[in-house]
A and B are shown apart, each in its own frame.
Chain A
Amino acid sequence: MPADIATQLAVERLLARYVASIDEDRLEEWPEYFVEHCRYQIISSENYAQGLPIGVFFANSRGMLRDRVSALRQANVYEAQRYRHLVSSTLILGESGGVVTAQSNYMVVRIMQDGATALFSTGRYLDRVSLEGPEPLFLEKLVVFDSRRIDTLLAIPL
């Protein structure tokens, strides 16, 4: 298989597994798609474009991602809900030294416990992926959401 197709498939497969873990409520798996010293941020496109550092959530360690999951499981109060992610148009922007830079579109539909189903978030994943180990892992994942508005609250990661 040509190298560029293998890279494309590796990134798309990582994204598919990542969203399946979230959508199927296997949140404990979510931090395991990242390297230990990762960077993950959810930020509006407006803040991102202006170079403003604060968004909706920020982590610079896998521990902070695990804390997010345990807070959601044990501490935080929010109405039962789940997501359905659609990820598409993955573009490989570059690859060097086993690190791939990629961008994808995402769309997340939120389904509330009473059945109310609504488009919750759209945006871009700006990813840096390490292909060094046995499985590809995110070095960095920026979730840049298109709207500036968040309906009610954002509990589950995007």
Chain B
Amino acid sequence: MRNALDLAWPREGLTRVPYPVYSRADVYDEERRRIFQGPVWNYLCLEAELPAPGDYRASFVGDMPVVVARDLDGSLHAFENRCAHRGALLCVKRAGHGREISCVYHNWTYDLRGNLTGVTFQRGIDRKGGMPPEFDPARHALRRLRVESFAGVVFGTFSDAVPPVESYLGPEIAARIRRVLKKPVKVLGYNSQILPNNWKVYVENNKDSYHASLLHAFFTTFRVNRLSQEGGIIVDDSGGHHVSYSKRATDKPSAEYDAAPLRAKREDYRLADPSILAGVDEFGDGITLQILTVFPAFVLQQIQNSLALRQIVPRGVGETELLWTYIGFADDDEEMLMIRQKQSNLVGPGGYISMEDGAVGGFIQRALPGAEDDAAIVQMGGDGVGSQDTRATETAVRGFWQVYRRHMGI
């Protein structure tokens, strides 16, 4: 099938991913327009990061800089982080507080809804210079996003057509977000990890439950996550969002595991200090791992009691910035905080589990030269998109490409 991008999708359909989608600059540029600025909801920040009227933060929609703000009346707003005058970044720091935001270049000022409220020397100096009388600041507001908060998570979109967040997510994904974010949260830390790969490689990695117990030996060895545990995958009706979950206490002997020559299977490996794995069932349902993605680039993670949000920010066709926000609940006591602090060793740029996801994306990206006419295979669990009661499947990866292709028209 040919299209505006002149990118041929293999005739096998969703079970193949043509490698040029990870390497072509024109594809990257189209993604900015058709996906991130298209009919999707993008993660912006947590409400807990904007607790007071006048608080604002820099965030991203794809790689576009935006500002998220809580106005003086308490309402949430978001707008492009780019001065209407010369296009300079307005909010250079990561966060701020005030009644207005001004550009350092020529001091043009904006309110917390993105309206242009002040043009310095608009009438000139000594009646010389200045803007022509017909210049109307009201016509130069910053481009605004629609903003919605769901379970304390602030999402934004440039689209008027996309339905409200809750219906965008669908009932099952919405319920699984509410499951984790069940009461007021507080931020426990941030990290930024530069991944040497295209952003979609990392999105797929999150949706790929097949790799989890194979690549991540730490998981498997301590039975934090094995495919033989009770669990499954939920894919929403669109295909773009997913939840993968498992229950650690339900692992049972598996003939396939015992027979498979897995690098990630070492029964002799024991921890000197197993307190890192001592958690509590704080959600009361026995689920010890839940990885949830929202199309296009948001991940909510519960690995035992390690809770984190991951914002995937493209930084060019072959580089991605992964922004980690670790959270707990506002009413965590010292003991709970210590559990979260220890279990944070599982994730993040140096995490026992997630460090490998930083490595493997680079292995894909570095192997792209020469793969221009080739395609990756995503056929585990069949060729369909939908929920499955096994995690030995790539159904959620196919779901991502189903939605991606629809947005991109390829």
Chain A residues in contact with chain B, CB under 8 A?
A: 42-44, 46-47, 52-61, 63-64, 66-67, 70-71, 74-79, 148-155
Collect the chain A residues with CB atoms within 8 Å of residue B115's CB.
none
* Chain B, Cβ-Cβ closest to A56: B350
- A–B complex contacts, Cβ < 8 Å, 9 sampled: A43-B189, A54-B188, A59-B345, A63-B271, A75-B221, A76-B355, A78-B355, A148-B191, A148-B192
Give the residue of A54, A61, A77 whose beta carbon is less than 8 angstroms from that of B359.
A77
Collect the chain A residues with CB atoms within 8 Å of residue B218's CB.
71, 75-76
Which of B7-15, B336-344, B388-396 is the interface stretch? B336-344
Give the residue of A43, A46, A64 whose beta carbon is less than 8 angstroms from that of B273.
A64
**Contact A149:B193 (CB < 8 A) given known A52-B188, A78-B359:** yes
How many Å lie between the Cα of A77 and that of B266 in the bound state? 14
Q: A54, A64, A66 — which one has the most chain B CB atoms within 10 A of its CB?
A: A54
Task: Tell me which residues from 152 to 210 in chain B have a Cβ below 8 Å from any Cβ of chain A.
Answer: 187-196
Collect the chain B residues with CB atoms within 8 Å of residue A78's CB.
355-356, 359
How many residues of chain B get a CB closer than 8 Å to chain A's CBs?
A: 41
Q: A47, A74, A153, A155 — which one has the most chain B CB atoms within 10 A of its CB?
A: A153
Least CB distance, A11 to chain B, in whole angstroms: 26
Tell whether, in the assembled complex, residue A152 and residue B196 are in contact, meaning their CB atoms are under 8 Å apart: yes
Given pairs A47-B190, A67-B271, A150-B350, 8 additional interface contacts (CB within 8 A) = A42-B350, A53-B337, A55-B191, A58-B341, A78-B355, A78-B359, A151-B194, A153-B355
Tell whether, in the assembled complex, residue A44 and residue B217 are in contact, meaning their CB atoms are under 8 Å apart: no
Give the residue of B271, B337, B350, B360 whose beta carbon is less than 8 angstroms from that of A154.
B350
How many Å lie between the Cα of A57 and that of B341 in the bound state? 9
Tell whether, in the assembled complex, residue A79 and residue B359 are in contact, meaning their CB atoms are under 8 Å apart: yes
Tell whether, in the assembled complex, residue B355 and residue A155 are in contact, meaning their CB atoms are under 8 Å apart: yes
How many Å lie between the Cα of A43 and that of B192 in the bound state? 11
Give the residue of B189, B272, B355 whose beta carbon is less than 8 angstroms from that of A53.
B189
Tell whether, in the assembled complex, residue B217 and residue A76 are in contact, meaning their CB atoms are under 8 Å apart: yes
Collect the chain A residues with CB atoms within 8 Å of residue B360's CB.
77
Tell whether, in the assembled complex, residue A153 and residue B350 are in contact, meaning their CB atoms are under 8 Å apart: yes
Tell whether, in the assembled complex, residue B349 and residue A64 are in contact, meaning their CB atoms are under 8 Å apart: no
Does B231 lie at the interface of the complex (its beta carbon under 8 Å from any beta carbon of A)? no
How many Å lie between the Cα of A51 and that of B190 in the bound state? 11
Tell whether, in the assembled complex, residue B359 and residue A152 are in contact, meaning their CB atoms are under 8 Å apart: yes
